[in-house]
Amino acid sequence: MEPDLIELKKLNKKYDSVQAVKDISFSIKPGEIFGLLGPNGAGKSTTIKMIMNILDPDSGQILFDGKKLKASDNEKIGYLPEERGMYKKSTVTEFITYFGMLKGRSIEQLEMEIEKWLTYFDLHDWRYKKTEELSKGMSQKVQFITSIIHDPEIIILDEPFSGLDPLSMDKLRGAILLLKDAGKTIIFSTHVMEQAEKICSHIMILNRGEAAITGSVSEIKSSFGNKMIALEFDGDGSFIEALEEVESIIKYPRYVEVELKDEELADSFLRNIIDKISIKRYERIVPSLHKVFISSIGEDLL
C-alpha cells in the first residue's frame, strides 16, 4: 500500500472563543487531488494555513512523508492564498520571475515555463504589461502561475475558483488536471461543487470547523443511496414537490432531480406522476456532489 504523502492528525485551532477547527484528521497519497469543501467560515482556510505552517495548531500533528514540515520543505510546495496581492508596477513576466527565483529557480529555468503557462491561459500578449492593467480574472490566472512556476511537488490552492467566470473556471480546472497528470499532489479549498466533483479523487466536507464527511468522491456519493431520480418531462409538474414520496427537488433548465424519502418509494412515485405529465426521461441516478454537500451541512448554512 502506497504511503501517505500528507497526514493530518486531530488538528485543533481556536480563535478566542471560536473553535475554527476541531479534531480534523485526513491523509493524502501522492498524485491525489484532495478537496476541502464547505461554506464560508467552515475552517477551510484555517486548515490550509496550518498545513502551510502559517498558523500553528493548538494541538494535533501535520506530517509530510511521515515527518514534521521543515522550512526546507517549502520549496517543494506551491501555495495560492485566498488573500492575494500583486506588485502593481511590475510587468506580468517580472512578477512571476521574481517569485520563481525566490523558490530557487534561475531565470533560464523559468523562461520556458512562463511562456508555456502564459500561452495556456491566453495571457501571452500581456506578458510585458503592468499587473495593474490586468482584469481580476487575469490577475488570478497570473497568481496561479506564480504558485506553480517553480515546479513544486505539492500544490495548495485556497479558493482558486472564487470570482472566476465559467470559461476561466474550466481553463483552471484543465490546468489542475494537467498538473495531476504530471504527478503533482494537489489540495484545494472551494465551495464550487461542480468543479470539485469534476477533478477531486477525495474530499472532506467541513461544517463549523468539524469534518461532516470524508472519503473518495465515488464512495461518498454511493453511500447516499439510490434515492435520486432524474426526471425530464412535458407538462405542468408543479404538483411533484408536494407528493408524499418526495423529500426535495433540485430544478435545472431541462430537467429536475427528485430526492425520494426512501429508495423503495420509487415505484409509488412513478405511479403518481405517470398519468399527469409526459415523461421523456426517468432515471435512477447517483446524487451530485452538490446534493451531498447540502445534505451534509444543511441548506440553511449556505
Full set of structural domains in the chain with CATH: 6-221 (3.40.50.300), 226-285 (3.30.70)
Check pLDDT > 50 for residue 249.
yes
Q: Each residue of 153-196: pLDDT tens digit?
A: 999 999 999 889 999 999 999 999 999 999 999 999 998 888 89
Average pLDDT (88-96) is 94
Q: What are the pLDDT digits (tens) for 106-150?
A: 999 999 999 999 999 999 999 999 999 999 999 999 999 999 999
The Cα 300–Cα 112 span in angstroms is 48
- Give the global pTM: 0.83
Cα–Cα distance, 174 to 172 (Å, whole number): 5
Contact 261, 247 (CB under 8 A): yes
**Cβ atoms of 118 and 145 closer than 8 Å:** yes
**Measured between alpha carbons, how far apart are the two ends of the chain, in Å?**
38
Three-state DSSP at 99 gives: helix
